[in-house]
Structure 1
Amino acid sequence: MIGSLSLDQLRVLVAIADTGSFSAAGRQLMRVQSAISQTIATLEAVQGVTLFDRSGHRPVLTETGRVLVAQARTVLSSAARFETVASGTRQGLEPELALAIDPLVPSGPLIESLRALHEIWPHLPISFSTEGLGGALRLLRSGDVALAICLLLPTVPDDVSATPLIHVDMIPVAAKNHPLASSTHPLGRADLEHHVQLVLSDAMDRGGPGYGLMGAAQWRFVDLARRMDFLLAGFGWCRMPRHLVAGHIEAGRLVRLDLDDDARGPDTPLTIHAAHLRDRVPGPAGRWLLKDFKQRLGG
């Protein structure tokens, strides 16, 4: 019961609208016609509206009735989702799957995994937070998310359980019209430090540790897509995931920079982990997602 309104009254109203008559609605709901008529009469009296024009052979929805039938469908759909989530929780399914996704994570396989998960648990609420460097770990520790697919730099913290999912090659690039793109020799630190480096940083800790930084001209971004815009516009150079820039390099919009040994640094790719707090293990949907996503990544 919602105040003076019940879900049963809404079911009867929708059944009449769908079947076209009180008697057909009674057959569908396995009730006598008089019970259907009484339910609608009570609903109209309590709400102070006329839902059906009964002057003809068949009841016809009034303008108010048509609007309220649409509202009734919405309420009944929400109630069904409510019951499904409650039922899943009783069976051990998490009531919500809250994820923090690093912007470096490849979107294609993740979308396909989530599409498959939705087919299994269509009513499971899923929330996303796309965080920059350090943000996913912060959300795990605050309890806002149960699972993160992210970088963990410089090492995996002691309070986090992490499984490596994929290695991401980071390659130095600049726009085709950037001065560095036309260099005829391997670029060293002395060459790079005179140009703006576009840096992905932690939104909450701008002065936090940096990785692969050189020179004083650093423009810091939280949003990877925004950094890409500035990169393509020729505002600076940076290291970007190979899978995000391969198409731009092939099309000639970006140029891979040739760095010398001093500027290149370690060639070890970055590792994307599936991570959760050691004392907060993901539920069935979270575990299923990780297994499926890892398989799609070839792991």
Structure 2
Amino acid sequence: MFTIEQLQAFVATSEAGSFSAAARQLGRAQSVISQHIMNMELDCGVDLFERSGRYPTLTGKGRELLPYALATISQLDRLNNKASQLFSQPASQLILAVDEGIPLTRLPKALKNLEQQFPQLQVECLTASSPDIIELVKSERATTGIILSELQMPKNTDSCNLGHIGFDAFVSSEHPLANHNVKHIDELKQHRQLVIGSKNADNSGFNQAVSPDIWYADNYYILLELANKGFGWCFLPEHLVAHTPNTLVKVGEEFTKLAWQVNIDLIQHQKWHSDPLHQQARLELQTLFE
């Protein structure tokens, strides 16, 4: 019933918020986008967008159709990626981007196993915050990423869970909070918070800013050093604090009961999903936290 061009116009308009923005995103004329949407609505017999306001918004029927359109376009992308691999040489390079807050003591063994199966293997390792790694994989600068789990992922990436690590709130033993029995997170808002950010100013989905006074860094080692010198409190991986010389203490016995486990995910661009090297890399990297 629908063409791929119509579905792309429909999805782009819903995401971009206007026909003109969708046209720019797809590199088409606005009239073409509008016509695609109108043809879809004629075929459906219902309005997919409400046009009474300044910008088009999805109707109830449009919201019902959107997930199916997204799934169809995703499958088309997978088909195109698979087809392109049929006529190209298998990859020999693994570009691995890793969040510095994740322990990787078993990574050398995984890479050794991978090298034995792919003697021509070339590896490049990058470190960045998890939001930045998502962008590196999305842009294909990295072929594989190991990140602290995020709720929002780009449509062109695949992911699987590798395990989890513990986080808690820490502060210098010389900080006023060190001797204060914090019972609620609101009490922390009175003190500076040190927060993981990214190079494009996006914050991690699970490490949100709480205090009105915030200092940012894009890796946990900097956060640890700032906290160690008394500049503020922060959420840190427990393993990092345990294995790094510091004077940090957990924030209050009552508050530490709020400590949580954060999932670790492996992500890859969909174009590498069927590539032999990256398939095996997924298998090897899934042993990192067993």
Shorter-chain TM-score bucket reads: 0.5 to 0.7
CA shift for structure 1 position 108: 0.5
Question: Of 260, 266, 288, which residue of structure 2 is paired with 1:274?
Answer: 266
Write out per-residue CA displacement over residues 106-155 of structure 1, whole angstroms, 9 at most, x where no aligned residue: 12122331233334445422112212131111111211122111134223
Q: Which piece of structure 1 moves more, 283-292 or 190-199?
A: 283-292
Please give the TM-score of this superposition, normalised by the length of structure 1: 0.59
- Consecutive unaligned residues in structure 1, runs of 5 or more: 1-89
Counterpart of 1:256 in structure 2 is 250
Whether the 8 Å contact between 2:149 and 2:264 is mirrored in structure 1 is: yes
CA shift for structure 1 position 244: 1.1
One-letter amino acid of the counterpart of residue 227, structure 1: L
Question: Of 239, 242, 257, which residue of structure 2 is paired with 1:243?
Answer: 239
Structure 2 CA distance, aligned partners of 1:282 and 1:179? 54
1:107 counterpart SS class = coil
Write out per-residue CA displacement over residues 239-285 of structure 1, whole angstroms, 9 at most, x where no aligned residue: 1112111245xx77221113757x976x5522111112334316333
Mapping of residues 48-63 of structure 1, within 5 Å:
none
Q: 1:233 to 1:120 in 2, by over 3 A?
A: farther
CA shift for structure 1 position 215: 1.3
In the alignment, structure 1 residue 188 sits paired with structure 2 residue 184: yes
Counterpart of 1:289 in structure 2 is 281
Counterpart of 1:116 in structure 2 is 113
CA shift for structure 1 position 210: 7.0
Whether the 8 Å contact between 2:134 and 2:145 is mirrored in structure 1 is: yes
In the alignment, structure 1 residue 167 sits paired with structure 2 residue 164: yes
CA shift for structure 1 position 180: 1.1
Structure 2 CA distance, aligned partners of 1:252 and 1:224? 13
Counterpart of 1:101 in structure 2 is 98
Q: Which piece of structure 1 moves more, 90-99 or 126-135?
A: 90-99
1:171 counterpart SS class = strand
Whether the 8 Å contact between 2:162 and 2:263 is mirrored in structure 1 is: yes
Q: 1:232 to 1:268 in 2, by over 3 A?
A: closer
CA shift for structure 1 position 172: 0.7
Q: Give me the identity figure in percent.
A: 21
Q: 1:177 to 1:140 in 2, by over 3 A?
A: same
Structure 1 CA distance, aligned partners of 2:253 and 2:194? 16
One-letter amino acid of the counterpart of residue 188, structure 2: L
Structure 2 CA distance, aligned partners of 1:170 and 1:240? 5
1:168 counterpart SS class = strand
CA shift for structure 1 position 162: 0.8
Structure 1 CA distance, aligned partners of 2:170 and 2:162? 25
One-letter amino acid of the counterpart of residue 135, structure 2: R
- Consecutive unaligned residues in structure 2, runs of 5 or more: 1-86
RMSD (Å) for aligned C-alpha atoms? 2.9
Whether the 8 Å contact between 1:92 and 1:283 is mirrored in structure 2 is: no
Count of residue pairs the alignment pairs up: 204
One-letter amino acid of the counterpart of residue 270, structure 1: V
1:134 counterpart SS class = helix
Whether the 8 Å contact between 2:168 and 2:260 is mirrored in structure 1 is: no
Q: Which piece of structure 1 moves more, 281-290 or 128-137?
A: 281-290
CA shift for structure 1 position 165: 0.7
Please give the TM-score of this superposition, normalised by the length of structure 2: 0.61
Q: 1:176 to 1:207 in 2, by over 3 A?
A: closer
Structure 1 CA distance, aligned partners of 2:204 and 2:111? 32
2:190 counterpart SS class = coil
2:105 counterpart SS class = helix
Structure 2 CA distance, aligned partners of 1:269 and 1:210? 11
Structure 1 CA distance, aligned partners of 2:200 and 2:242? 30
Structure 1 CA distance, aligned partners of 2:215 and 2:200? 16
Q: 1:101 to 1:212 in 2, by over 3 A?
A: same
In the alignment, structure 1 residue 137 sits paired with structure 2 residue 134: yes
